[in-house]
């Protein structure tokens, strides 16, 4: 898909295509549509990120709370979004042994209790061993720093999803 195609979309099409760039926050794609036309992928990305950065802290925490746990109950129940399912699968989280799953569940619960939002990580850059390690490490970080780190991961995930969507037809880039 090229940027002219993106710029020609009405808001219904735009939200259908970009609604999950930020996990379960179609509101953000729907807001970004107001900023069209976009000059390229970087410009589109910039508008998604600017919207996130301009939210009050409660809104930024809200974005994080719309994310599923890694290797959590939604993966087991099959209710993940298609994008999350692919990303968790790429990190090997769909084939954990019982012990590893339990260990991650305990760490996820501690993290949620400590920070008031779930542990978010761009899983595609990771693997199963690194996920636990990183979760254990970030559990010890100060809250303000951890909010920044987690939003950075939201942006990495969004960048990868946007790049996937715009590169769907590589001949056009």
Active-site choice (45, 67, 138, 161): 67
Q: Is 47 noted as a catalytic residue in this protein?
A: no
DSSP state of 10: -
Residue 34 as a binder of its own copies (CB under 8 A): the answer is: yes
Do the beta carbons of residue 45 and residue 158 sit within 8 Å? yes
Residue 10 as a binder of its own copies (CB under 8 A): the answer is: yes
Residue 37 as a binder of its own copies (CB under 8 A): the answer is: no
* Closest to 78 (Cα-Cα) out of 95, 92, 94: 94
- Among the listed residues 63, 70, 93, 154, the single contact to its own copies using CB under 8 A: 63
Q: Quote the least distance from Cβ 160 to its own copies, whole Å.
A: 20
Residue 11 as a binder of its own copies (CB under 8 A): the answer is: yes
- The DSSP line for 94-140 is GG--HHHHHHHHHHHHHHHHHHSS-----GGG--HHHHHHHHHHHTT
Residue 32 as a binder of its own copies (CB under 8 A): the answer is: yes
What is the SS3 assignment for 154?
helix
Residues that bind its own copies (CB under 8 A): 10-12, 15, 24-35, 51, 54-59, 61-63, 65-66, 112, 116-117
Catalytic residues: 67
């Amino acid at each position: 898909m090229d940027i002219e195609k993106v710029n020609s979309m009405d808001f219904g099409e735009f939200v259908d295509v970009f609604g999950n760039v930020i996990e379960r926050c179609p509101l953000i794609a729907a807001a970004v549509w107001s900023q069209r036309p976009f000059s390229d992928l970087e410009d589109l990305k910039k508008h998604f990120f600017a919207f996130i950065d301009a939210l009050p802290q409660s809104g930024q925490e809200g974005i994080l709370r719309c994310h599923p746990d890694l290797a959590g109950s939604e993966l087991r129940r099959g209710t993940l979004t298609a994008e999350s399912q692919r990303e968790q699968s790429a990190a090997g989280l769909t084939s954990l042994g019982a012990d590893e799953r339990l260990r991650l569940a305990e760490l996820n619960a501690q993290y949620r209790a400590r920070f008031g939002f779930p542990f978010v990580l761009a899983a595609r850059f990771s693997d199963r061993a690194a996920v636990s390690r990183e979760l254990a490490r970030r559990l010890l970080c100060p809250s303000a720093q951890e909010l920044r780190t987690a939003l950075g991961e939201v942006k990495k995930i969004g960048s990868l999803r946007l790049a996937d969507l715009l590169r769907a037809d590589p001949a056009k880039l």
